[in-house]
């Protein structure tokens, strides 16, 4: 673990210790001064025993969090995943503390104070980590603390990797350049400068002060790869091997190990059998609830659309859904009527003049998608899944992109794994396909919930909503 990671771990430990102390203060005062639940006896118990129990509770929390892997540094870990880890470890800490309380006979501690302590502690720990993330992210955007990266090779995988590292500075990487034998020095690849040939690796590592090298040469010989790995080792820089992503999604090979014996198989959709019923039931409950709660907003948007521009309130369009069946998708009209009369089917762009004033606002915050709650109830769509495309684009992309048509193994979604990773609008369809296939092959109800929660956050910050 590097010095920077040690410091981050130490800061997290400090945040959690402070959060536990503050949570005990909050829980005690709430329970015995504000809580409406009756207090046994006539007088609140003294605070002294609760204050004396703080060191023991801190020790339990730190030990449990360490055991649960909360303090393990994982590059690019989403904040939501970190919060889920905190919640799980906090519940386990509470159970351990309750067991210790039941064995201790010196003082009768309130179980409700413990519950309130856990709840307050989770909120405070999450808030502290969010603040820490913002500080670290601000530093990384200025290049402070980010690892300097050199990418060797210009395959599909390296292009996607550079885009993701550039788009999400929280991964902690700063791409300094690319080496490749097929492009001339000074050219641009994925928005990054080509510095020279692959053979120039040692010189460029020294010149650019590189911390880590990504080797993205799927067609390279074993001898060449070994030579590059040896060079990285001699230069004392870390390296990572990047396989060609299109090779991965076209082969569909999955790997497993049984007692040290490697086994290969074929990756398949996880949305089968009982999972289909679970996902459908979840969709119905959530979409019906949202339709009721958001009905005032739906009415307000309908009135605004009607008053702002001529044309219908709802926009209907054919899309391809599960099993390649065509259905009618509903959206709030955000563009002028007959927007594609002259151009034919095209994607919206950042400066699209066809958008109305109300439509520009709705598309920025994805409010135009709300009528698709009706599509979910009808069974055409799901809350989460690959975004549905028009038949024209499906025919085109199906012929150009490997495994694109496998997206239709599940119901299309209002949101998806690609969309919460900011792959929407006029972004690479090939990149989206990689994320959509990953979602299908790794589906779980928890994954759906995670994507929905991320969707609310991405609505405010995504860059390709227009």
The residues with which 193 forms a beta bridge, in sequence order, are 188
Q: How confident is the model at residue 436 (pLDDT cuts 50, 70, 90)?
A: very high
Q: How confident is the model at residue 42 (pLDDT cuts 50, 70, 90)?
A: low
Q: Alpha-carbon distance 313 to 298, whole Å?
A: 11
HSE-CB of 87 using CA atoms within 13 angstroms: 7
**CA-CA-CA-CA dihedral for 56, 57, 59, 60, to nearest 10:** 120
Q: Which of 151-160, 227-236, 333-342, 385-394 has the lowest mean pLDDT?
A: 333-342
pLDDT score of 336: 79
- For residues 288 and 44, the model is more confident at 288
Q: How confident is the model at residue 466 (pLDDT cuts 50, 70, 90)?
A: very low
Q: Alpha-carbon distance 461 to 463, whole Å?
A: 6
- Tell me: pLDDT of 360 over 50: yes
Residue environment code for 58-90, b if the CB has 16+ CB neighbours within 10 A, otherwise e: bebbbebbeebebbeeeeeebebebbebbeebb
| Residue pointed to by tokens 């949202």 | 290
Q: Which of 1-5, 235-239, 335-339, 425-429 has the lowest mean pLDDT?
A: 1-5
The residues with which 318 forms a beta bridge, in sequence order, are 328
- For residues 141 and 350, the model is more confident at 141
- Tell me: pLDDT of 463 over 60: no
- Reduce the DSSP state of residue 178 to 3 states and report it: strand
pLDDT score of 139: 82
DSSP character at residue 2: -
Q: How confident is the model at residue 357 (pLDDT cuts 50, 70, 90)?
A: confident
Instruction: Show the tokens assigned to 36.
Output: 């409406």
- Tell me: pLDDT of 464 over 60: no
- Reduce the DSSP state of residue 288 to 3 states and report it: helix
- Tell me: pLDDT of 126 over 90: yes
pLDDT score of 56: 94
- Tell me: pLDDT of 397 over 50: yes
- Tell me: pLDDT of 266 over 90: no
In the chain, the percentage of residues whose pLDDT exceeds 90 is 44
Where would I find the H helices in 309-443?
Answer: 357-364, 372-378, 391-400, 417-420, 429-441
**Averaged pLDDT, 4-25:** 91
User: What is the Cα Rg of the chain in Å?
Assistant: 27
Instruction: Show the tokens assigned to 107.
Output: 């003082």
pLDDT score of 87: 94
Spell out the domain ranges in the chain: 3-141, 147-243, 274-461
pLDDT score of 407: 92
- Tell me: pLDDT of 247 over 60: no
- For residues 172 and 256, the model is more confident at 172
**Is residue 19 a contact partner of residue 121, using CB atoms and an 8 Å limit?**
yes
Residue 249 falls in which region: left (phi positive, over 0), alpha (psi -120 to 50) or beta: alpha
CA distances to 152, 215, 221, 239 from 228, rounded to whole Å, are: 10, 8, 11, 9
Right CATH for 147-243 from 3.40.190.170, 3.40.50.800, 3.40.50.20, 3.40.50.11540: 3.40.50.20
Instruction: Show the tokens assigned to 317.
Output: 């369009």
- Tell me: pLDDT of 124 over 50: yes
- Reduce the DSSP state of residue 240 to 3 states and report it: strand
- Tell me: pLDDT of 90 over 90: yes
pLDDT score of 429: 86
In degrees rounded to 5, what are phi and psi of residue 35? Answer: -65, 140
Q: How confident is the model at residue 410 (pLDDT cuts 50, 70, 90)?
A: very high
The string of pLDDT tens digits covering residues 209-243 is: 999 999 888 777 888 888 888 988 888 898 888 76
- Reduce the DSSP state of residue 413 to 3 states and report it: strand
Residue 159: CB atoms within 10 A of its CB come to 22
**Averaged pLDDT, 97-115:** 87
- For residues 226 and 93, the model is more confident at 93
Could you report how far apart the first and last alpha carbons of the chain are, in Å?
Answer: 42
pLDDT score of 218: 73
| Residue pointed to by tokens 């790869």 | 225
- Reduce the DSSP state of residue 74 to 3 states and report it: coil
DSSP character at residue 106: S
Q: Which of 249-263, 290-304, 311-325, 413-427 has the lowest mean pLDDT?
A: 249-263
Q: Mean pLDDT of all residues in the chain?
A: 85
């Amino acid at each position: 673990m590097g010095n920077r990671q040690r410091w981050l771990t130490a800061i997290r430990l400090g945040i959690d210790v402070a959060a536990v102390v503050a949570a005990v203060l909050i829980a005690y005062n709430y329970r015995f001064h504000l809580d409406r639940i009756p207090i046994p006896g006539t007088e609140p118990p003294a605070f002294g025993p609760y204050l004396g129990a703080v060191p023991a509770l801190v020790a339990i929390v730190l030990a449990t969090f360490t055991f649960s892997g909360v303090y393990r540094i994982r590059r690019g870990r989403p904040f939501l995943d970190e919060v889920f880890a905190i919640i799980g470890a906090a519940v386990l800490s509470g159970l351990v503390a309750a067991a210790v309380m039941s064995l201790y006979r010196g003082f009768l501690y309130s179980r409700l104070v413990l519950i309130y302590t856990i709840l307050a502690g989770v909120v405070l720990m999450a808030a502290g980590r969010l603040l820490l993330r913002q500080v670290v992210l601000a530093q990384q955007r200025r290049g402070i603390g980010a690892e300097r990266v050199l990418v060797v090779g210009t395959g599909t995988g390296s292009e996607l990797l550079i885009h993701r590292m550039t788009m999400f500075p929280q991964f902690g990487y700063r791409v300094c350049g690319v080496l490749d034998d097929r492009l001339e020095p000074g050219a641009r690849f994925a928005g990054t400068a080509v510095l020279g040939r692959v053979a120039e690796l040692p010189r460029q590592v020294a010149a650019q002060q590189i911390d880590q090298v990504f080797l993205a040469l799927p067609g390279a010989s074993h001898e060449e790869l070994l030579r590059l790995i040896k060079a990285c080792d001699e230069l004392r820089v870390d390296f990572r091997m990047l396989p060609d992503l299109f090779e991965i999604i076209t082969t569909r090979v999955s790997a497993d190990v049984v007692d040290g014996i490697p086994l290969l198989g074929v990756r398949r959709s996880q949305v089968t059998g009982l999972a289909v019923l679970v996902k459908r039931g979840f969709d119905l409950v959530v979409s019906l609830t949202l339709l009721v709660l958001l009905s005032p907003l739906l009415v307000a948007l309908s009135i605004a659309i009607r008053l702002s521009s001529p044309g219908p309130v709802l926009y209907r369009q054919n899309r391809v859904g599960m099993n390649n069946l065509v259905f009618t998708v509903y959206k709030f009209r955000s563009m002028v009527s007959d927007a594609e009369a002259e151009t034919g089917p095209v994607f919206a762009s950042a400066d699209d003049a066809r958008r109305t004033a109300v439509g520009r606002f709705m598309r920025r915050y994805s409010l135009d998608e709300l009528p698709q709650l009706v599509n979910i109830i009808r069974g055409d769509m799901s809350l989460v899944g690959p975004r549905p495309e028009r038949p024209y684009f499906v025919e085109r992309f199906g012929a150009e992109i490997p495994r694109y048509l496998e997206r239709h193994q599940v119901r299309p979604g209002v949101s998806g794994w690609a969309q919460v990773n900011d792959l929407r609008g006029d972004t690479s369809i090939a990149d989206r396909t990689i994320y959509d296939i990953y979602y299908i092959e790794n589906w779980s109800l928890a994954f759906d919930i995670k994507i929905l929660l991320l969707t609310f956050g991405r609505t405010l910050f995504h860059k390709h909503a227009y």
